[in-house]
Structure formats: C-alpha cells, structure tokens
Amino acid sequence: MPDGGAAGADDVALDPWGSSTVSDYRKLFEQFGIEQFDQVIDEVPNPHYLMRRGVIFGHRDYRPIADAMRNDEPWAVLSGFMPTGDPHIGHKMVFDEIIWHQQQGGDAYGLIADLEAHSARGLTWDEIDEHARDYVLSLLALGFDPEEGDLYRQSTNREVQDLAFELGIEANFSEFQAIYGFDGETDISHMQSVTTQMADILYPQLDEPKPTVIPVGPDQDPHMRFARDLAERMRFFKVTEAFASFESDPDVYDVVGSAYETLREEADNRDIETIRCGWAAQYLEGGIDAVSWEIDEMPEKKVEESTSGTTPEQEAKNQLREAGKEPLRPRTRFFARQATDEAFDALVEAVDGEKRRYESHVDAFEMDRVEAEELAREIEADHGGYGFIPPSSIYHRFMTGLTGGKMSSSIPASHISLLDDPEEGYDKVRSATTGGRETAEEQREKGGKADECPVYELYAYLLSGDDDEFAKEVYDECVGGERLCGGCKEQAAELMESFLEDHQEKREEWAEKMEDLDFEFDVADGRAGGD
C-alpha cells in the first residue's frame, strides 16, 4: 500500500517492494482479476479527472464506494506513504485521490508507513522523521483537511498495532511465502510490517463497518487481496447461498440452480410443491423426461468418477444423488465461523420467517443475501466483533520517468520532487525525453507520439488540472502535427514551475501551523539507535 506512486510491477508477478514497471496493464485484468474502471465510472458522482482520463484504470469492488457517495452513507478512503525519500509528482496522484475522496464526503486517512520503512528499507528513525514531515506537508498543501481527516504514523498508533496482532493470528508463514516470496532469510520485522499494513487498510472500520477504498499503484494489489481475505476471516459469520444441506463450489451451485429452475417450472405444471434432490440428479443425467417424479424412485447413491477430473456437472450429480429425498429449494445460509455461542443464538433468533438450525449454520428461506449480510454484520458488531466489509481499491497508471523508462527516486533527473526548486523543475521538464519525431518536418507530417511521451503525461496527470479540454487540445495538436516538442516542453516547464512555486508557498504556510496538528513528527529521540 505505501509509496503508491513510486514503484511499478511487471506482467507476471506483483511485488509491493519491487522496482519494475508494468509492461501491459491488460494482463492485470486477466491474471489478477482487477476490473476496468471505465465499467464503473458512470456510477461515480463527479468523477476525478484521473478517472475521466483513464489514469485510474482499474478497481476492486469500487461500487460500494460509489453507492455510498450517491446515497450519503458512511464510507472512507485511506492510503499510505513509505517515507524513504522526497515526495514527488508520482506520489501527488495518491495525495490527490485521497483529497478528492475526502471532498466527496468520505472519512479520509493518510498514514506514514514508518515501521515498514524501518524494517523493509532499513531507514533510520532520524531519516524517517525528516521524510515524514515532508510527506505530511505536501498532503496538507494539496488540500487535505486535517480537521475532517486523520493523519497518523504506524509506530505511534496503538490501535493499528493491536489490530495487526489480532490479524496476525489469522495469517501464517506459508501465505507470506506464496504471496510475497518470503523465505528463511526474511526477518520477522518485515513480516510484521505486512500485518501492520493489513491493519492500516482495515483501521477506518474499527469504529463501525463501512466501505473503504484504498488508492494504490497496481504493485500493491497483493496487499489488497490479502487484506480482503483477512477481513473475511475475521468475520463471525459467512453468508452463502445454497439449495440443499450440502455446500457447493460456485460452478456447482450454478449447475444445481439451473436444474432447480427447470424443475420448478415443470413441478408447478404438475402441482408438485416440493422438489427432491434425486429428481435434479435424474434431470442432469437424462433431461426432463428422465425425471421419475416419484419420491421412492430416486437414483442410486453412487459417485460418478472421471479420469480427467470431476466436472461441475458430475459433482452436482454426485451431491444430488447423495442427498436423495431431501427437498431442493433455495435458501440463504449463515455459517458460524468465529461466532460465540451467544452471538450464534442471537443470529438465529433474529432471522425472520422460516429457518432451519444446524450445529454450525442456520438456513433462512425468506431472506435474500443482501439482507442476510446486513443482519450478520449487525449481530457481529453487537457482540464484540469487527464486522469488516472487504476493502475496495482503485489502481492508477505509473508515470513514465522524464528520462524514459521508470520514474525512480534514486534517479533525480527521472522525476520531479515536490521539494525541487521551481527553476530546477523547469529545467528538468525542458530536458525531458519526448514522443516526438526526428525532425520538425517529420513531426508536422506524421504527428507526435503523445501516448509514448513523458511530457504529455505531465499534462494529463498534473498540469491540465481539471481542464479536460486543455488536456485534449494538447493531445490532438501533438498527434495532428500542429504542436512541436520545443514549444510543448516550454509550456509544460512554465506550468511546472508555477505549480511548484504555488505548492511550496502553501507548504510554508502549513509549516507554521504544524505544532497545532495532532501528529508526532519526532519519534527518533524516543527510540534506541534513532540516529
């Protein structure tokens, strides 16, 4: 999660501590299940320009956030920054995303991942203190409202540390190996920093469960998948849907559901009220004409084997045969995962309508899944549980370095620090690589390659601000051959210089008010080996 604007990812593995770049964002949809943001943008009130321009390109489960925005319901946004160097224009994207979500009504959280910086990157506490101050100043200068939001450091937030301890009970080393590639050489503090990040992600829900979005780069997706998994594991109850007493994988459930719908229609025509599992097995074996419709003529309870692996259809038939005369009907199921006996009893009591209680679950026949999820979360919260809602995430593209390739904090010419002297920022843009042609004549004839140009990215990601028409004008003039690189870079350099001047003036204004903030900037003095 931290340092969302600084690192990258490749098209095979996503490494939160890596430094490669994404070569094909489409692979992220195919390999990791990240959804395209343009499929949800119409549901977002007043979308940010990074969303409109496709810079924010993907999401996991953003619809609950959009729904909460539209319906004025509680929700939150959180992201963090690992203080390993100066904040730069790549980080500004994440700053902007937090601030925009705050302005749309979300509870906003900005954190400094100092425990991770110390354990994973080896920075001293003195170095961390210095960088933490710079990140907070830039976040405030860009528009974060500290009176309406929450700023904190991992190392000084006891609630986060306590939650990390609880989450650690649900995590194990084999998962750390599979997700992050940890091995016998990985130190314990590095592992602990992961559970701390999981606690950061879920921290906005400590007071009450609510949808929470985490803006990050796609390299941080392993953290998001793990956090969503842990959020589910911490729940008292798991809510599923079923058609009988047995549990089915989603593919098998779909097969059984399709069979049920067909049989329900035919049963209604025959004035048969209760459908039996065995009849559904007969239907899957030979179609509707193979169904006996006699309760005593159920198929033999045998398991159908397959040399090539059991298909969903075969598994469905096996389960339905085994269930035999058992009624087949849709129901919503509450599993007691970590619920106390008191909480489980309260849930059973709260389920309205027809229900059936078993040793570790209860089936409700007159409640849909949405109602069931709300009830389960309410009972959990009333009995000391967290009731976490799986966190959502949005993913932005990485900025290309000004020298081409990736933007790197270790290569000063590749990025513009938010602390750079405005004239230095001007010079860096003037010296940047472009997507232009070899000669001005060729540029006018064939047009520039704006989609491959780091300077155009500056316009799209930062310099055009909320003005989509200006960003489009720069793009069209470039690819149409009207705009030459020299003039384009000069305009961008002047805009960058102006931006840095304004930003640093606002930083100075906030620097004078830092003592009024509820934030601990100097922790090195209280730590052994701080310097």
3-state secondary structure 396-434: ECCCECCCCCECCCCCHHHCCECCCCHHHHHHHHHCCCC
pLDDT < 50 stretches in the chain: 3-20, 530
253-275 pLDDT, tens digit per residue, is 999 999 999 999 999 999 999 99
Each domain of the chain, given as residue ranges in start order, spans: 39-236+388-396, 239-382, 412-516
Residue 179 Cα distances to 173, 393, 476, 515, angstroms: 10, 18, 43, 40
Give pLDDT, residue 250: 93
Residues 6+ apart with CB under 8 A from 76: 106, 107, 108, 109, 204, 205, 210, 211, 212, 213
Give pLDDT, residue 1: 64
Give pLDDT, residue 412: 80
What are the phi and psi torsion angles at 218 (to 5°)?
Answer: -65, -15
Looking at this protein, which amino acid is placed at residue 136? V
- Other C-beta atoms closer than 10 Å to the C-beta of 441 total 10
The domain 412-516: what is its CATH number?
1.10.240.10
DSSP code, position 143: T
Q: Strand 212-216 and strand 76-81: pairing?
A: parallel
The SS3 of residue 231 is: helix
Looking at this protein, which amino acid is placed at residue 439? T
Token pair recorded at residue 479: 């690819």
Give pLDDT, residue 518: 84
Give pLDDT, residue 410: 66
Sheet holding 361-364, edge to edge: 237-242, 331-336, 361-364, 355-357
DSSP 146-160: TTTSEEEEGGG-HHH
Which of 265, 263, 321 is closest to 288 using CA atoms? 263
Which of 279, 284, 277, 357 is closest to 323 using CA atoms? 277
Answer for the pair 410, 3: CB distance below 8 angstroms, yes or no: no
Which of 288, 284, 291 is closest to 257 using CA atoms? 284
Residue 117 Cα distances to 13, 140, 172, 350, 402, angstroms: 22, 21, 22, 47, 26
The domain 39-236+388-396: what is its CATH number?
3.40.50.620
